[in-house]
Structure 1
């Protein structure tokens, strides 16, 4: 009886050549990123002005990638049209999101309107009564200095320990009942105009100035009503900002450095206003001519900051708020605590709104993901 011959194993040479043989037969494994899921594609318009699949992957990554925190709302506008929109569970188009430091930009728009009305002068001494006493060096601080965060006042943001931080003391500590008075009482640390110091109290000073101009000598209720009505008439109504609202302290001062709320669509319309050089979607002027250009002009004390806008430029130091090394050079942004962003790239006709919760250690990874999205539009 013949023995069965043992089965031979493929030689090493055949094993090494197998991929090439498969390729020759048309069986090469697919390369490149996998196609986006149905859920990812559902968030993107059929014709978004760029390749749809890469955009869908970039949008999806902002909701699913690890190490970037929690995205709660994302809105992408291209040439004024919404081309991608997605919300996390529990949030939707009617949800209002606090802007945190994006509120500073809304305050800067308020100031621009008052300048256009002739109620404020950019380069005149800021009308803060406490600073107008003879010999007070703070009398040299101008409205422009405040807009560009170079007042020179001792406002130490993000201090350690946190309870010593200027914005925390002003909003939740000894300054909470009269935030503007606390902010305005701080001494000079630098000569006015000389040094960039990012500061939430500075924007509260601007909000106080607006209230003094609109309701001189008014009660807290009158101050609150005057500023709210002015914002509604001059900004919210022309732009259809249905969810725009702001918080005020006990003296009726708008908390203009942190506590403006709006829907994702509202934040997107504000980004579009800036992309369109101060005009509404129908071309109607809302901001004075040249105001957006002023806001986008680098501060003499900080090349990556303008007038309440972060610019996509190197800081000249180790600060990295946006993604200057990846461009585009004309991009700018509203940026808020915990990862709130309204990114505007005029050359790409692009506005991107990201709202959510991202702690400081994860912010660089989040910014990289946002840069990936912007890069889809080349």
Structure 2
């Protein structure tokens, strides 16, 4: 490891999140929700130290912390739902992303004049304006939610009854709507999503560290006459995905390679291109990934970079042009760009 890289890793490790290591406050994001939804519905566990791994041109340059520890990854799970949607697309289960979801998944909450116009494309771009309750939580709790990565500012108080518009007209980061997408994908595959993810992603990518994708206490649902767990696309209310930084890096390398890993096409190049198309009403967002095409997301990252981001915070940074995959876990979200700048400097010094 060169001197510059040593300094970079030391800097990243100095940017530890303020979240506790044992799930005592401050920890998580559920406590910011309006009651009675400011609680956990699924299991959680303590976290490890600042951890990560850096690959450049398919060579591992560095690892730090506990890169093999399976840690909660919060909203990075959203991106994994997008990968499952891509698998459904590649397998012909989801022939057209612009098909209304109700046509393939009747009876799960897409009925009605406006809701029946919601397509897979809307759900994947978080522009669906879906209305309802999923896994016992109404989507209103995440209306007016605002993230630092969005431009502008919130127009109301989180949880207020914002009037809903036509599907596709507004971007809103909403974890209940994400859980509704997960439910729809469960009905599409008719198999528990963790099983599908294990078979078609983790195994081909050689992921070998501990992994789990857990649901809520009220998450069991009927699919094809069988009881199956509908898993959340994050850990907002507990549950979700626990995965190691090293296994996240393997997934990142497949994404960097336009769906290819060790000579095997795990996901189609076409789907990877679709994922990276900017949303019309939120050009910083694709299919459940954050884009940096105008540098507004992270000014020191290349415009070709894109990200999966989870609270806590957990960063998967993929750049196909730079041939870079960088995983950073449990860093202070406000210092993400500083960490990126250090990585870029150390690559320049090689």
TM-score band (shorter)?
0.7 to 0.9
In structure 2, do the counterparts of structure 1 residues 374 and 330 end up closer, same or farther at CA, with 3 Å as the change threshold?
A: same
Q: State the structure with more CA Rg.
A: 1
Q: 1:205 & 1:115 partners in 2: Cα distance?
A: 18
Is the 1:326–1:371 Cα contact (8 Å) retained in structure 2? yes
User: Which residue is equivalent to 2:34?
Assistant: none
User: Which residue is equivalent to 1:147?
Assistant: 124
Q: 1:187 & 1:210 partners in 2: Cα distance?
A: 27
Is the 1:76–1:351 Cα contact (8 Å) retained in structure 2? yes
User: Which residue is equivalent to 2:214?
Assistant: 247
Instruction: Report Cα offsets for 1:37-75 as digits up to 9, x if no partner.
Output: xxxxxxx3xxxxxxx221211111111258887952021
User: Which residue is equivalent to 2:286?
Assistant: 306
In structure 2, do the counterparts of structure 1 residues 375 and 195 end up closer, same or farther at CA, with 3 Å as the change threshold?
A: farther
Could you tell me the TM-score, scaled by structure 2's length? 0.73
Q: 1:214 & 1:66 partners in 2: Cα distance?
A: 39
Q: Does 1:277 align with 2:258?
A: yes
Task: Give the unaligned 5+ runs of structure 1.
Answer: 1-43, 45-51, 156-162, 168-185, 216-222
In structure 2, do the counterparts of structure 1 residues 113 and 375 end up closer, same or farther at CA, with 3 Å as the change threshold?
A: same
Task: Give the unaligned 5+ runs of structure 2.
Answer: 21-48, 133-138, 144-160, 221-228
Is the 2:16–2:50 Cα contact (8 Å) retained in structure 1? no
More strand by share: 2
Q: Does 1:261 align with 2:211?
A: no
User: Which residue is equivalent to 1:83?
Assistant: 61
How do residues 294-333 of structure 1 correspond to structure 2 at under 5 angstroms? 294-314=274-294, 322-323=297-298, 325-333=299-307
Shift of 1:100: 0.3
Number of matched residues? Answer: 278
Q: Partner of 2:267: helix, strand, or coil?
A: coil
Shift of 1:112: 0.6
User: Which residue is equivalent to 1:58?
Assistant: 8
How do residues 184-199 of structure 1 correspond to structure 2 at under 5 angstroms? 189-199=164-174
Could you tell me the TM-score, scaled by structure 1's length? 0.67
Q: 1:96 & 1:65 partners in 2: Cα distance?
A: 20
How do residues 169-188 of structure 1 correspond to structure 2 at under 5 angstroms? none
Is the 1:334–1:341 Cα contact (8 Å) retained in structure 2? yes
How do residues 194-213 of structure 1 correspond to structure 2 at under 5 angstroms? 194-213=169-188
Q: 1:301 & 1:187 partners in 2: Cα distance?
A: 18
Shift of 1:229: 2.3
Name the structure, 1 or 2, with higher relative contact order (CA <8 Å, separation 6+): 2
How do residues 1-378 of structure 1 correspond to structure 2 at under 5 angstroms? 44=1, 52-64=2-14, 72-87=50-65, 92-120=66-94, 121-127=96-102, 128-130=105-107, 131=109, 133=111, 135-153=112-130, 165-166=141-142, 189-215=164-190, 223-224=191-192, 227-242=193-208, 243-249=210-216, 250-251=219-220, 252-258=229-235, 259-280=240-261, 282-314=262-294, 322-323=297-298, 325-356=299-330, 358=332, 363-378=333-348
